[in-house]
Chain A
Amino acid sequence: RHYDYDHDEL
């Protein structure tokens, strides 16, 4: 699956 985590957490 395409990895698309946008790192919106701190």
Chain B
Amino acid sequence: MNIFRLAGDMTHLVSVLVLLLKIHTIKSCAGISLKTQELYALVFTTRYLDLFTDYISLYNTVMKLIFLGSSFSIVWYIRRHKIVRRSYDKDQDTFRHYFIVLPCLVLALLIHHKFTFKEVMWTFSLYLEAVAILPQLVLLQRTRNIDNLTGQYVFLLGAYRALYILNWIYRHYTEPHYVHWITWIAGIVQTLLYADFFYYYFQSWKNNVKLQLPA
């Protein structure tokens, strides 16, 4: 565990908890894409299948349980909570799941390290995580006016990815056989998706104006 990895995990954790807390306290999910949240729930479910078979560390197990629990709680709030679900803007959040899920599944079946159920599911989760933010980015682009919390949520998620890249560079130099190109390529693609958002986020922060994305 290095400082980049820990900072990345903490940023990821804070992003998810900020979102859950926001939904819980203001009883609104305005600006949040249910599609992205469902994809994340699927990402964690397929990635953490090893929760039942392998033990890595207490830290690892606890974090996995938090990510699983929080992602399913968010989906539950948006779909089932009687007040929260009213604020969900279904008409704007139109991205199709299968449009993302199917290509990732096909890719995972074709490109993986080992052809076992667990390994293919793990690889699928990496590909899926790389693009799961797309419905959220499309929603931000459409609504244009982004409230602070949604902006911070997306910013924290992007920061988490950037920190993971630093972690891989660090591990590559400190651990002799640390070469995981599937993880790296998926991670770099994922981080690049945030580049555009980051640009406007920093602009708005620098000029001290409300974050708006161009149409």
Contacts and interface: CB of A to CB of B under 8 A. Distances in A.
6 contacts: A7-B50, A9-B164, A9-B167, A10-B9, A10-B60, A10-B63
Contacts, number: 24
Q: Secondary structure of the B side of the interface? A: helix
Contacts of A6: 54, 56
Interface of A: 3-10
A8 B122 CA distance: 12
Contacts of B113: 3, 5
B54 A10 contact: no
B59 to A, nearest CB: 9
Interface residues of B, number: 19
Nearest to A5: B180
A7 B64 contact: no
A4 B57 CA distance: 17
A8 to B, nearest CB: 5
A10 B54 CA distance: 14
Contacts of B35: none
Nearest to B63: A10
A5 B56 CA distance: 12
Interface string B47-75: 00010001011001001100100000000
A7 B56 contact: yes
A4 to B, nearest CB: 8
